[in-house]
Every structure is written in C-alpha cells, then in structure tokens.
Amino acid sequence: MLLRIITGIIGIAIAAVVIQLGGAPFTFFAILLALVGWYEYSSAFERTGIYTARILGGLLLILLLLCAWLGNIEEILACLVLGTLVIFLLTVLGGLSPADACVSSAGVLYIGMPFAYLILMRFFAEKNNLPDSLENLADSVITQTVNIDITQILSNFNFETGTALIWTLFICTWSSDTFAYFVGSIFGSHKLAPQISPNKTIEGFLGSIVGTTAAAVIVGSLIFNFPLFPMIGAGVALAIFATLGDLVESVIKRFARIKDSGYLIPGHGGVLDRFDSIFFTAPIFYYFAIVMLM
C-alpha cells in the first residue's frame, strides 16, 4: 500500500506539470502513454494466440495523436479509416489473420481515440483566460488573510478552459475509482459483476456516483465556474462510464489470463490498468464540453 501511495503521489505530480504545460509536452506524454498501452494490449492478446500489427499500430497511434494536436478532426478520421484499410490489407498479403486484423484495428481505436480526445480537450478554447470563479475564490479566501495576489499566481499556472476541463475529468475519474473502492470495502455486500470483477460491488458503484458527482460540483462548478446542473449530470455519467471502462479492461485481462496489463507503475500495474476508466470517460466528457460550452 505504501508503494502504491508513493507512486500515486509521484504520478499526480508529473500529471500536474504536464497538464499545466500543455503544448508539445502534453502531446508527447500522451503519445508515450498510448504506445506503452499499445504494447501492453498487444502483449496481452499474444498470450491468446492473437498477434497485432505492432509496428503499424504504433505508427498509426503516433499519427493519430499528432493530428489531434493539430486539432483537425478530418485528419483524425482519415487516419482511422486508412489505417484500418491497411491493417486489413495485410490479411490479403499474408501478414495477419482476420482475427489479428480485427483486434489490431480495435486496439488502435480503443487506445488511440481516448488520448486524442484528451489532446483535443486540453487545447479546447485555449484563448480563454482564468475562470471568474477562480478569481472570486482567490479574492474571498486567500487575499483577505495573507495579502497575496493569488489570482496572479493561478494565472501563471495557465488555467485555460482546456486545462480546467482536463483537471475536472481526471479528478472526477479518480474520485469514481476511489469512492468505489472505499465504499465497496466498507459497505459492499452485493456483487456488481462477479464473473468479470469479483471485488466490485453495487454499494461501491453507488458510492462512486455520489463521490464523482460531488467532485464534479466542487471542481467543475464551484472552482472552474462550469454550469451547476450540467456538472451534476456529468458527474453521474462519468461515474457510470468510468465503471464500464474498468469492467472492459477486466474482461480483456481475464481473456488473456493476466492480473495486470503491465508493470510500468509500481503498485498500480500498467498504463491500461491506470487509464482504463479514462478510456471511457474522456470521449464522453469531450462531447459534454462541446455541448456545455458551445
């Protein structure tokens, strides 16, 4: 548990720096994590006799995320379509079986698009400045007690709309996992999906909905000044999809007969283990942001 806590703190610190920097560092780390996730995904399926197009899939992920950095949806779609066609062409050339091609295409979509949505979200309306609620929070809480211009400090941390969206997404998703774990550990007695993930309980799932909704209201609405009622809805939706993302990865691991997808993060497993919920919440929250902020 101590190792898990230490690596978690280090991971949050790295994430904070990368999120605040944005730009090339954010895109670079997204590509790096996607490639590690692709390696874990391919390795898991190889244990079942299914072999992905490792090199081609990795190149497609890089190209896909670079297109996301440019912010061009048409280029992202072109990468997915043309990449899928090339992968299935390899079945004709004898390089892949139909099953290999299907798993390869699904993997590029499953891993690549969530990271693409994170990049698109991070650069969402970057011209927007610090939300008013942060200024009000600074003026009402900090400046009156220690006489520090905290607004200027927060502005230096680059809280644009995209940054606020990423922080809201990650904190809500982390809250879902955390509340599900602790509420399930204390009160859990009814299994949610015993054949897939025996430790998950209905009580933990309900706790994740309450905790995620509270996090969405506090972080999204009170701090970042996003509309209150949409954030309540977002909290419920993120809790549901975070749980679904976790269950999907559990199915993959059970299929491959592995406990963790990898060993990159001591005490936490691999990239797929840490981002399984984000894979499902990132696309949902991206489109929620489009509707909410249009």
130 pLDDT more than 90: no
DSSP-derived secondary structure for 230-268: HHHHHHHHHHHHHHHHHHHHHHHHHHHT-S-S-SSBTTT
In degrees, rounded to 5, the angle at the alpha carbon of residue 154 between the alpha carbons of residues 28 and 138 is 150
77 residue type, one letter:
L
CA distance 218 to 137: 12
φ and ψ of 91, to 5 deg: -70, -30
Give tens-digit pLDDT for 79-99. Answer: 999 999 999 999 998 889 999
Q: Are residues 193 and 200 in contact, defined by beta-carbon separation less than 8 angstroms? A: yes
Report pTM: 0.85
Alpha carbon distance 216, 281 (integer Å): 13
Q: What is the pLDDT of residues 172-188, one digit of tens each?
A: 999 999 999 899 999 98
> In the chain, what are the domain boundaries?
23-122, 160-294
**Among 63-72, 154-163, 213-222, which is the least confidently predicted range?**
154-163
Measured CA to CA in angstroms, residue 227 lies from 61, 135, 212, 282, 288 at distances of: 34, 17, 16, 19, 12
pLDDT for the residue numbered 5: 73
